[in-house]
Amino acid sequence: MNRKVLCVDDDMHVLNALQRNLRKQFTIDTALGGEQALALIEQQGPYAVIVADMRMPGMDGVQFLSKAQEKAPDTVRIMLTGNADQQTAIEAVNQGHVYQFLTKPCPLEMLAVALGGGAKQYEWVMAEHELLEHTLSGSVKVLTEILSVMEPQSFGRGQQLREYMRAYIQSPTEHAWQLELAAVLTSIGYVTIPGTVTAKARAGQSLTDTETEMLARVPEFGSKLLANIPRLETVAQMVLYQNKHFDGSGFPSDACAGDAIPVGARILKVLNDLLDLEARGMTRMHALQEMQQRCGWYDPRVLDAAFVRFDASLPKASSAPRTAYAVSVNDLHPGQIFSSNVYTVDNVLIVKAGAKVSLLLLERLRNFARLQGLREPLEVEA
């Protein structure tokens, strides 16, 4: 447990007394005023608990704890003051986000109990963060592996779309991970669609009204899957509105339009359509010019940014041929990357070139080899 405590006061005698009396129970650092304390938070944090006096010259306790909350939002904050008026308590709680409010003189036993409770609160918050991080990363890993196995073409497109998204973003931002994840999982809803329907659509065959509606709702299905995962609510909204036109037309058929559409979805709309046009043989510049003619489809700012960023930012395909070698399905191992598509003996596409072998994918390939047979040898990158 982190039992590191920062005590902040303008009286050195008070700080020395706190350090002397509490050092057996906690690791105590002291700061003479708010400015010194903020520097310690950056240099020697994280602290489990910060306890600060209210009345300090220059920067009072409420002002300090507000700044401390910005620098270390998970640290538990305690206010210690001789001024017990109601307004001070309200300011301390509302502005400084104070965990506990103690009045002076405060018995050391009471302060020790408050610090111990604060340290436990900090431990609980950090454990919750760790659980959320593990839940998030684990859930995303499962979803991407399911997509790579069940819908290899959609997975391959998601990987390509992520590269376009990275080129569009250019500089890392706080929300870059959400944009990249939305790009990778933009087609996750296809795992809910029967394979026969997807195959018909890709082959250009006539679809029934039910099948057409089903495919149109792929973003909705994907959004519902993602919305159940902690911290992916924003990503789920991007996926839901990825086909929405800037003028409000398109799916979903609600009143959302213009800047009300999540900005990530507006970017996805441009990138998705750019990919589609390039796949039909258009050059990037011609594709973007074609998109300019589609009145009301795109956020003009996003499309203008695409002209600036994609011309030089997207990596050009290497002219050097990739080396590959042949292996049997029994020789595959996780981490290898396929250099060519993988088909069953009946010519059914199972995995697209560029996919990385995972444990889940490896097991699926072995099952196909046993039941239907694969066209071997397989080709992986050297």
Closest C-alpha among 295, 293, 253, 291 to residue 269: 291
Domain range for 34? 4-128
Whether residue 252 contacts residue 244, with contact meaning beta carbons closer than 8 Å, is answered with: yes
Provide the sign of the torsion angle of the four alpha carbons 271, 274, 280, 282, taken in this order. Answer: negative
In this structure, the strands spanning 4-9 and 49-53 are parallel
CA diameter of the chain: 84
**Angle, helix 176-184 to helix 263-279, in steps of 10 degrees:** 40
pLDDT of residue 303: 93
Tokens (6 digits) for 343: 């088909």
Mean pLDDT on 131-144: 76
State whether 358 and 281 are in the same domain: no
Whether residue 191 contacts residue 198, with contact meaning beta carbons closer than 8 Å, is answered with: no
Strand, coil or helix: 26: coil
Q: How many CB atoms lie within 10 A of CB 304?
A: 13
Between 82 and 381, the more confident residue is: 381
Of the given ranges (83-92, 205-214, 252-261), which has the lowest mean pLDDT? 83-92
**286-318 pLDDT per residue, tens:** 999 999 999 999 999 999 999 888 764 454 444
Strand, coil or helix: 32: strand
Tokens (6 digits) for 323: 């080396």
Task: Please tell me what DSSP assigns to residue 315.
Answer: P
* Confidence band of 321 (pLDDT split at 50, 70, 90): low
Task: Please tell me what DSSP assigns to residue 200.
Answer: H
Mean pLDDT on 56-78: 90
Between 364 and 185, the more confident residue is: 185
φ/ψ of residue 235, rounded to 5: -60, -40
Torsion from C-alpha of 134, 135, 137, 139, nearest 10 degrees: 150
**CA–CA distance, 251 with 259 (Å, rounded to integer):** 16
Q: Which of 61, 93, 128 is the last residue of a domain?
A: 128
Q: Is residue 141 part of a domain?
A: no
Mean pLDDT for the chain overall: 86
State whether 199 and 278 are in the same domain: yes
CATH number where 353 lies: 3.90.105
State whether 105 and 174 are in the same domain: no
State whether 287 and 340 are in the same domain: no
**H or E element, residue 138:** helix 108-150
Q: In sequence order, what are the residues at sequence separation of 6 or more whose Cβ sits closer than 8 angstroms to the Cβ of residue 112?
A: 22, 25
CATH number where 85 lies: 3.40.50.2300
Is the pLDDT confidence value at 115 over 90? Answer: yes
pLDDT of residue 32: 94
Tokens (6 digits) for 179: 């944009």
State whether 48 and 75 are in the same domain: yes
**Angle, helix 263-279 to helix 300-313, in steps of 10 degrees:** 50
**CA–CA distance, 266 with 256 (Å, rounded to integer):** 12
Provide the sign of the torsion angle of the four alpha carbons 127, 128, 129, 132, taken in this order. Answer: positive
Q: Is residue 139 part of a domain?
A: no
Q: Is residue 259 part of a domain?
A: yes
Half-sphere exposure of 249 toward its Cβ, with a 13 Å CA cutoff? Answer: 6
Whether residue 295 contacts residue 303, with contact meaning beta carbons closer than 8 Å, is answered with: no
State whether 361 and 258 are in the same domain: no
Q: How many CB atoms lie within 10 A of CB 233?
A: 13
State whether 356 and 304 are in the same domain: no
State whether 202 and 350 are in the same domain: no
pLDDT of residue 318: 45
pTM over 0.75: no
In this structure, the strands spanning 324-327 and 378-381 are antiparallel
State whether 297 and 363 are in the same domain: no
CATH number where 160 lies: 1.10.3210.10
State whether 305 and 158 are in the same domain: yes
Domain count, the chain: 3
In this structure, the strands spanning 76-81 and 49-53 are parallel
Mean pLDDT on 162-175: 79
Of the given ranges (15-24, 92-101, 177-186, 285-294), which has the lowest mean pLDDT? 92-101
